[in-house]
Amino acid sequence: MDSDTNHKHYILHKPYGYLSQFINNQTKRKNKKLLGELYHFTEGTMAIGRLDETSEGLLLLTTNGKISTHITSSKVEKEYYVMVDGIITQDTINKLKNGIEISVNSKPYITKPCQVFSVEDISKYPIADRFVRDERHGPTSWISITITEGKFRQVRKMTAAVGFPTLRLVRVRIGNRKLNLPVGKVIETRLIGNL
């Protein structure tokens, strides 16, 4: 999918603590950090597939709604590195791979089969060395989860459903585009084909 030359596209390594939006209309969120504080984006720029305030990593932005629709569709994979509470087992990883029941809009939903594996070394990507909790509160482990759907807080719900709550969530890949920027860095780019 070739991008229209009149449109602008950006890649961002979203830091922890930022909302994936530019305007804050909610009084209760008036002190929240917004993406516009990181870079001077072209008017009309939208985040493609938001990351919530406590999530980090690769975020694509565009002024082209067609590209946004394509990337958020089930045709494009999204990979996340997830730090979970406890040492996750292969049996639990297999449950996640095969699809598990979570709640979506207060109704039961079975997630689609996906790719999941343990990650021993996270240095492949520029993930911030951020304090999460003291080691005395128990061990943690990292897994990779690659999905093609994007239900609200899906990855967090998936790990919680198997007894391993998410402590950190970092999106490291969208399609062929990998996280390769320092935290908070933004670059303008061209989105072509499958990214």
Catalytic residue annotation:
52
Angle at 105 between CA 17 and CA 150, to 5 degrees: 55
Q: Which two tokens stand for residue 84?
A: 């979970």
Q: Which two tokens stand for residue 1?
A: 């999918």
Taking the C-alpha atoms of residue 86 and residue 142, their distance in angstroms, rounded to an integer, is: 9
The β-bridge partners of 18 are 33
The secondary structure element, H or E, covering residue 10 is strand 9-14
Q: Does residue 91 sit in helix, strand or coil?
A: helix
Phi, psi of 67 (to 5 degrees): -65, -40
CA 37 to chain centre: 20
Q: Pick from 77, 58, 75, 33: which is nearest to 126 by CA?
A: 58
